[in-house]
Amino acid sequence: MFERTRAILLKETRELLRDPVYLGLAFIVPIALMLLFGYGMSADVTHMPILFVDHDRSFFSRDYMDGYTHSDYFDLVGVTNDTGEVEHWLRSGKARVIVDIPPDFSRKITGGEPVSLGVTVDGSFAERAEVMVGYVSAINGLYNQRLFERAMSRSGLPPPQPVQMAVSVWYNPALESKNFIVPGMMVIILMLYPAILGALLVVREKEAGTIFNYYASPARRWEIIAGKALPYVGVIFLDYLILFAMSIVLFGVRFIGSFWLLSAGALLYSACTIGIGLLVSVLTRTQIAAMLVTFLATVTPSFNYSGFMAPVASQDRIGQFVAYLLPATHFMDMVRGAYLKGLGFAFYWPNLLALTVYSVLLYGLAWMFLNKRIG
């Protein structure tokens, strides 16, 4: 009995050692997943971009801003006195929090009068918006404590009134999580399913041996790639239309943007995700290896780094670098902006351009490596 077990054991060990792909994946996959999830998954809301509209330009207003800029929770992206810039900063995502300091801020503090300032929070990330409101309230409370301690240490000063905040949340005023989660899930689904489909396009022909029919045919390389990819791009675009309809009708998600602009981005995104799978399919020899590599290269990074659960701005520099290499990040910007902010082509032409370049690069690489297989 043990001899038979030993024979099977030796056979499987030899087969494992003969296949460097399986052997490599056995070690690479768990290490890569640990790195991706360890660096990418974080419940902390840090380094959120904040803009100050300072109409007072005084020692007190600068002292108030210092409480935000000297914390890890916020990164100062600008100080202005033009209220008209507020909407642009929020709509573009360059700022997630805007604090409006009134022109009589210092006069009212020194005179012991009540003073209030405005705080505007981007509600596109519902749970993060709640956390940001909490951070702002805590920092404002610390400033009030400093005012009180300063007044107590100096005789003759009137007791200060606490600085009040008028908080407003834009784009998702009720902070409904469905407005945040459902559009993001559409991006993740349209990354996972199409890439897996694309990963099987060529490798299944290799395993079945029918790939030689293509090699022997007069079809050119780009004709093989286009003929295999285009039907699936069409199918995935139909999936997008179904998911979009479900988000509006079934889940009641708020949508105020351009359907045609979002659909153009979805078509390019579909081409990208199919292209990723197709490239993996050209490079691998077995369907299992193709699916594992595709999962590792698409789903995990997209889930962690695309801005699905946390804004890209809150990630470290390495995380942001990885994020902008992913097509999911660019489409996530378009989806969230179209659903919640109603942004147009002027804001999202860079994302469309990035998806276009990504598609050309993917299919170009697939064409190049398929040439090596034929030759």
Is the pLDDT at 374 greater than 70? The verdict is no
Q: Take residue 336 and report the two structure tokens written for it.
A: 């969230």
Fold of domain 48-170: abc type-2 transporter like fold (3.40.1710)
Answer whether 47's CB lies under 8 Å from 74's CB: yes
Q: Any idea which of 146-155, 247-256, 290-299 has the lowest mean pLDDT?
A: 146-155
The model's pTM is 0.65
Higher pLDDT among residues 122 and 24, named by residue = 122
Vertex 146: Cα angle to 143 and 152 (nearest 5): 145
Q: How many CB atoms lie within 10 A of CB 193?
A: 16
Instruction: Note the pLDDT tens digit of each residue in 313-324.
Output: 667 677 777 778
Instruction: Note the pLDDT tens digit of each residue in 112-160.
Output: 788 888 888 877 666 677 778 778 888 888 888 887 777 776 655 566 7
Mean pLDDT of 356-369: 89
pLDDT reported for residue 15: 60
Highest-confidence segment of 6-10, 12-16, 43-47, 331-335: 331-335
Q: Any idea which of 4-8, 57-61, 280-284 has the lowest mean pLDDT?
A: 4-8
Residue 372 confidence class, pLDDT cut points 50, 70, 90: very low
Interacting residues of 77 by C-beta distance below 8 A, sequence separation 6+:
49, 50, 51, 89, 94, 95
Instruction: Note the pLDDT tens digit of each residue in 163-180.
Output: 888 787 777 665 566 677
pLDDT reported for residue 373: 45
| Phi and psi based region of residue 93 (left: phi greater than 0; alpha: psi -120 to 50; beta: remaining) | left
Q: Take residue 158 and report the two structure tokens written for it.
A: 């009137």
Closest C-alpha among 140, 195, 194 to residue 165: 140
Higher pLDDT among residues 374 and 45, named by residue = 45
Is the pLDDT at 39 greater than 60? The verdict is no
Domains of the chain, by residue range, sit at 48-170, 177-374
Instruction: Note the pLDDT tens digit of each residue in 238-247.
Output: 888 888 888 8
Closest C-alpha among 217, 242, 239 to residue 228: 217
Answer whether 61's CB lies under 8 Å from 102's CB: no
CA–CA gap between residue 309 and residue 313 (Å, rounded): 12
Task: Give the pairing type, strands 97-101 and 48-54.
Answer: parallel
CA–CA gap between residue 244 and residue 248 (Å, rounded): 7
Instruction: Note the pLDDT tens digit of each residue in 197-246.
Output: 788 777 777 776 666 666 666 767 777 778 778 888 888 888 888 888 88
